[in-house]
Structure 1
């Protein structure tokens, strides 16, 4: 007999029980939700826990989503402002590990994945009613998990921008670069040389060595440039320090003549590394090729962190393809209230998809 309980903080869930469910799923462990709860602004988590007897068998990480990077999906600035204002007032309940772009659905390795997933989806939809969410979204789904959610349901699906992923088999940066096609290798070296000509170099530092205010400024600069809200709390580095050790986090700093002009944060979990906290001082990074240098240096430091997979994110695909990245598909599945609306929304989205794919 199974039962469902809910929690509003990951600290209300025993870390050992949580991690037994997460297993070796990258970024699924208890520590990563503690990191997000401590560092994200406007984060209102809701956790669904599925028990069998006294054993935790499934988890759904959800949150009331009051902010989003609307620039990824909407080109029109007016529509972005409208979308941002709407979800702030009427937040959907989104099932995902936010920012880390991982599914929020976790099933104990010894459990029946399909059965537990089905029960979790039902419980999340019930939670959406309790929270009076206008709709429920299961986001950041890979094809296998998408199929699991949609196989027995008529749920609307939205294709998200793909994640640029590097599969790393090299042991060193030099070995990785040598494996690139000659044309791409020449381009990478040209850009690195131009950055050097502008006095730019990159170093990896522990969070304990970082100026909190400077990182805040760089992150705010990128958010403002794209018309997005700043996702992180002020002093995010200080909040992250007690939650992440040096084996799981490293900040890359680009300096020009001694001044910090850009940064990215590498997060590492079970052989997978994510690129986050992209911060740029645009007047200095754009002419100096600092961003391009930072991106290539993520490979060097990801390998040092033991990565076999490097997730570079969902923008600037041209550069990332030259680095050898493949495009990994991601989907979002909607659960509309009331359920009778699922078929209608699915039909509208399907018609739109056929129109976009039509020749000419």
Structure 2
């Protein structure tokens, strides 16, 4: 009986012990208890947002052995691996696509473990439990987005359909300095990036890296202004509330790198990054003054500088952006899992995803030819 697994759902992560939850994770900042709690306590998710927490907890003998960040969704916004066309097809066929269940980190296109557990048995239990909960709440299906490749393989064995999309990541191949990285590029690309960085850094002010106790409330006031401007242009309104930044200042400032451009001591632009054990994750950017190439400098080049200086293996700079290719960011596959309760739609989705995976593989191979690296081996 001690080996029996018990699955429970929780409308707030506050009901789960932080140490127990984090003890199952891999250090990814976005699946930590403190990050997910900040989303809830700030009102960025919850009632009225379309992201209703329904976190899974798997226990064995009274001890937490598995967990999953899970949300009931009433739309498909803020996900970055999109299923809008599926939703339209499902509804044209007479079905009700929403609510659906989403195992994800809201508004965060960064890969990491979604099946938080110490062994594959518990991970399989979470996948089975996800299907059970989908049936129980009457959701159309369940989606596990930005998961690990190893989780994708487990999901496939459990009956989920794997999907592959693509992002641009900078990969650290043991560079000792930014010049070492430039040496791996073609001569023309090397010159282009040197010129770009020189122009960006000549904007007339200074660039600062802020972490931990160097971060102060007035820095968040400035960044909130940047974030609102960017959010209004991209999404119509920002996903995160102002209170979210206060919460992460209280609980996560050691996990944060804020890169600020200042003109005479006044912040005019900034890029917010989160730090993991082996990666830096670029999340948000904004500005109140336009300067040539400053966006590329703060978001991409400064992140590379930090990764090299601290021995991090990669920079994940968020979704989309073919312009990242020219700055040394390479196309990499991104994994997700999908399951719908309707067997006919599931078969159609399986056929579609099989074709999409082949096409995505060809696209990644083609994009790799456009990286700025030397082609002489």
Normalising by structure 1, report the TM-score: 0.80
Q: CA deviation at 1:208?
A: 1.8
**Could you say what secondary structure the match of 2:21 adopts?**
helix
Q: Which structure 2 residues correspond to residues 170-185 of structure 1 after superposition, within 5 A?
A: 170-185=175-190
Distance in 2, matches of 1:225 and 1:57, equals 42
2-side partners of 1:28 and 1:145: how far apart? 15
Q: Does 1:311 align with 2:316?
A: yes
Residues 203-259 of structure 1: per-residue CA shift (max 9 Å, x gap): 11243254434322221222232345412112432221111133x112111234554
C-alpha deviation, 1:96, in angstroms: 1.8
C-alpha separation between the residues in 1 aligned to 2:35 and 2:238?
19
Pick aligned residue for 1:222 from 230, 255, 260: 230
Query: Which structure 2 residue ranges, 5 or more long, are not aligned?
Result: 90-96, 364-377
Aligned to 1:107: 117
Are 1:188 and 2:193 matched, yes or no?
Answer: yes
The verdict on how the C-alpha distance between 1:273 and 1:71 changes in structure 2, with shifts beyond 3 A counting, is closer
Given the alignment, which residue of 52, 63, 74 partners 1:44? 52
1:58 aligns with 2:66: yes
Match of 1:265 among 236, 251, 272: 272
**2:215 is aligned with 1:207:** yes
Q: Is the 8 A contact 1:96 1:105 kept in 2?
A: no
Of 174, 183, 201 in structure 2, the residue corresponding to residue 169 of structure 1 is 174
Q: Which residue of 1 aligns with 2:19?
A: 16
How far the C-alpha of 1:175 sits from its partner, in A, is 4.5
Task: Give the CA deviation at 1:202.
Answer: 1.9
Structure 1 position 149, deviation (Å): 0.9
Structure 1 unmatched runs, 5+:
84-88
- The answer to whether structure 1 residue 327 and structure 2 residue 337 are counterparts is no
Q: Secondary structure of 1:199's partner? A: coil
Name 1:86's counterpart in structure 2.
Answer: none
CA positional deviation for 1:6: 1.8
203-212 or 49-58, which deviates more = 203-212
Judge conservation of contact 1:272–1:309 (CA < 8 Å) in 2.
Answer: yes
Query: Across the two proteins, how many residue pairs are aligned to each other?
Result: 339
Paired position in structure 1 for 2:129: 123
Alignment TM-score, normalising by the size of structure 2: 0.77
Report the CA distance between 1:21 and its aligned residue: 1.7
2:94 counterpart residue number: none
8 Å CA contact retained: 1:5, 1:48: yes
- Per-residue CA deviations over 1:169-216 (Å, capped at 9, x if unaligned) read 334445444554433332221111212343254211243254434322
Pairwise CA distance, 1:347: 2.4
1:296 maps to what in 2?
Answer: 301
Return structure 1 stretches of 4+ with deviation > 6 angstroms: 352-359
RMSD: 3.3
Contact 1:218–1:280 (CA under 8 A) maintained in structure 2: yes
Could you tell me whether the CA contact under 8 Å between 2:7 and 2:56 is conserved in 1? yes
Matched residue SS, 2:337? strand
* Cα distance change of structure 1 residues 166 and 252 upon mapping to structure 2, 3 Å threshold: same
| Structure 1 stretch displaced more, 254-263 or 266-275 | 254-263
Cα distance in 2 for partners of 1:223, 1:63 equals: 22
Instruction: Trace 1:85-164 onto structure 2 (pairs within 5 A).
Output: 90-98=98-106, 99=108, 101=110, 102-108=112-118, 111=119, 113=120, 115-153=121-159, 155-164=160-169
